[in-house]
Amino acid sequence: MTDELPSTIAEAAEALRARRISSVELTRALLERARATQDSIGAFQAFTEETALTAAQVADAELAKGPERGPLQGVPLGIKDILATSDAPTTASSKVLDPTWGQRADATSVRKLREAGAVILGKLVLHEYAIGWPDPDTGMRFARNPWDLARSPGGSSSGTGAALAAGAILGGLGTDTGGSIRGPASFCGISGLKATFGRVSKEGCVPLSYSLDHIGPMARTARDCALLLQVIAGFDPLDPTTVRREVPNYADALNGSVRGVRIGVPRAYFFDTPELNAETRAAVEKAVDDLGRAGAVVREVSLPHAAEARIAQRVIMLGEAYAYHQANLQMQPIAYGKNTRRQITQGALFSAADYVQAQRLRSIVKTEVLTAMADLDVLVTPTSLAVASAFEGYDPDSMRRLPSFTSIWNLTGQPALSVCGGFSSQGLPVGLQIVGKPFDEATVLRVGDAYQQLTDWHTRRPAAAREAQPA
């Protein structure tokens, strides 16, 4: 085995084919690393060691003799525990979900990963039902941020973000309803993509909000996200929200250049809100400048109802979430964590008229954004208001009051990628968000990949990961 393990999917794919490491060796090493960090970081809900090693053995045999299944073949990944897997229970990090729900075949996205030869190491923790801030009283595990164990890795795809930052997996799946892929990507210094609504099947996923939920890739780099998206994207007859649209070769778009790419910067709301941390603003402003110096064409753009979009997204999300959880909330409310219960029950307070008005505003925002982007390729904004929040003293209700730079793109359904855009004076990652036109993930990934070739932020690893090297 090599002295240093591959840190990305692309590196692992090359090392596996060059026989510098076997999938079994890589899988064992990452399982060892994951278990070594479990007490401190706690990213895994369950390990699937037996099936992972079997898949790794198959991958090694196929890499030697065929068939060739692509760059994910033999690569260890993790799955957010809100997606069904045939070899492990699905809990949604809650004691409420009926255990029989997960006694089924893999979710479509998971099945596609396995068919591509990927090795699934286990299920990753999340905020309960993809919405509640962790409640220790439930007894359910919650993840900690490898950059600072006293801080959150973000929600709700917390386990995926933490496991990636810790180097316990090389890629994984998260879900995103208002920023739940991009938030952990921002806080953990990794890359995470919410593709266009309808690009990736949601079949086999416990829903939060039917019209806002997305499944997407999380990895160390934008390039790795492209490799994952290539496999999971596409029409699925089991999910009526997916679209019959050709999936391009995303890797072909990654040419390392942003020359001529037209970038819009919506300074109003996204850069001038008083809640935005000054260091975060400065890091993202510098990233925009770096892209401009690399040949991108940068100009300011206006999105008139960006602030109101946050309100519409919450009305829709909470209304749809309450519709899904209503029966269980009536029969076993105490089984929910207090923060999850508090969030979801807010949906009962909205009327049908509120929901309809939110959908009307959704249409207005979609039109405004598409009009603003008519002669642009992407928008660039901060991902989050600040760096990762400390657990101690955090107010879960603050999400209801604070601005959001991510939820608007769930409302519009556009693709949005978060990559590491720098570090704060505390040594914590800052998120840079790149937003594209519908079904133009290729350009979003191109910009993210090019930025990562201009900088080295994405190569940095927290001490918690460096200290967990396999023997």
List, by residue number, the catalytic residues: 80, 156, 180
d(CA 178, CA 394): 19
Which runs of E-coded beta strand occur in 37-154?
44-47, 76-80, 119-124
Instruction: Specify the residue for token string 């879960």.
Output: 396
Q: What is the CB-side half-sphere exposure of residue 141 using CA atoms within 13 A?
A: 18
CB contact burial 366-393 (16+ within 10 A = b; e otherwise): bebbeebbeebbbbbbbbbbbbbbebee
d(CA 253, CA 256): 9
d(CA 297, CA 294): 9
CB contact burial 334-362 (16+ within 10 A = b; e otherwise): eebbebbbbbbbbbeebeeebbeebeebb
Q: Measure the CA dihedral 28/33/34/38, to 10°.
A: 140
Structure tokens at 335: 């089984």
Q: Which of 402, 414, 405, 399 is nearest to 381 (CA)?
A: 405
Structure tokens at 6: 């591959």
Structure tokens at 269: 């709301």
d(CA 79, CA 96): 20
The SS3 of residue 139 is coil
First to last CA, the chain: 11
Structure tokens at 375: 């002669």
d(CA 227, CA 210): 26
The DSSP annotation for 144-186 comes to -BTTBTTB---SSSHHHHHHHHTTS-SEEEEEESSSTTHHHHH
d(CA 319, CA 309): 15
